[in-house]
Amino acid sequence: MSATIPSTEPSSFRAGDLLAWTKSLSDYPANDGWALAYTLINASTKITINASASGADFSVSVPAATTAAYVPGLYQWAARVTKALEIYTVVHGTVEILPNLAAQATFEFRSHAKTMLDAIEAAFEGKASSTQLEMEINGRRIRSFSPEDMIRWRSVYKAEVAKEAQSETLARTGINPRRMGVRFTRV
């Protein structure tokens, strides 16, 4: 069974997977001599992906062996068309490259907020590891916080973790857990 190739750029993809999509640009058709290239860039990495002509459209295909070397993270991207001396940026956006789990021995799946909340709660319970006690918030180590500061930061991180959980539920189910419908009827 062959997978359907999307006609838009991905918002995220996993390193180590095949990356493929098609792009139709009616003002810059591939069969009229236009070339299309994507640049993905963040603070530490730059990736260039060249599309190939497929009739009037462009085809992007990056093998899994190539994406396996991509550094996970959030990237800004821009697509540019070129023909002789003409160069135009035609579309841009953001993409997240997810880690290649098949290449990982272990993986820390917790967000920063969850990691910090766990460290604060472990400190409250007297069960914090030396690693957890060495974590910093605003330049101060957890062990140097007053109980009032710890309670305040725990509230901040609890709210952030709850927000992340709601976003994950919405992405997974399409149901916003914060919106509940109530209907009243007369009896």
Residue closest to 14 by CA, chosen among 76, 97, 107, 71: 97
**Domain-located, residue 1:** no
Residue closest to 153 by CA, chosen among 186, 185, 112: 112
DSSP state of 116: H
The whole-chain average pLDDT of the chain stands at 87
Strand order in the sheet with 12-14: 12-14, 86-98, 73-83, 35-41, 46-50
Question: Is 68 in the same domain as 123?
Answer: no
Q: Residue 177: what pLDDT?
A: 67
Q: Which amino acid is at 72?
A: P
Q: Which residue has the higher pLDDT, 128 or 72?
A: 72
| CATH assignment of the domain containing 22 | 2.60.40.10
Alpha-carbon distance of 178 to 125, in angstroms, equals: 31
Q: Residue 170: what pLDDT?
A: 79
Q: Residue 181: what pLDDT?
A: 66
**Domain-located, residue 18:** yes
Q: Which amino acid is at 37?
A: A
Paired tokens of 34: 């236009």
- The answer to whether 178 touches 168, Cβ cutoff 8 Å, is no
**Domain-located, residue 185:** no
pTM for this prediction = 0.64
Q: Residue 129: what pLDDT?
A: 73
Paired tokens of 18: 């095949």
pLDDT digits (tens, 9 = 90+) for 1-23: 567 899 999 999 999 999 999 99
pLDDT digits (tens, 9 = 90+) for 58-67: 999 999 999 9
182: confidence class by pLDDT, cuts 50, 70, 90 = low
Question: Is 58 in the same domain as 89?
Answer: yes
| Torsion 155-157-161-167 (CA) sign | positive
Residues spanned by the domain of 133: 112-172
pLDDT for residue 39 is more than 70: yes
Question: Is 48 in the same domain as 86?
Answer: yes
pLDDT digits (tens, 9 = 90+) for 65-116: 999 999 999 999 999 999 999 999 999 999 999 999 888 777 677 788 888 8
Q: Which DSSP string do the residues of 45-91 spell out, in sequence order?
A: -EEEEE-EEETTEEEEEE-HHHHTTSPPEEEEEEEEEEETTEEEEEE
136: confidence class by pLDDT, cuts 50, 70, 90 = confident
Comparing 19-33, 52-66, 143-157, the range with the smallest average pLDDT is 143-157
Long-range contacts of 124-128 (CB under 8 A, 24+ apart): 124/150, 124/154
Question: Is 119 in the same domain as 95?
Answer: no
pLDDT for residue 50 is more than 60: yes
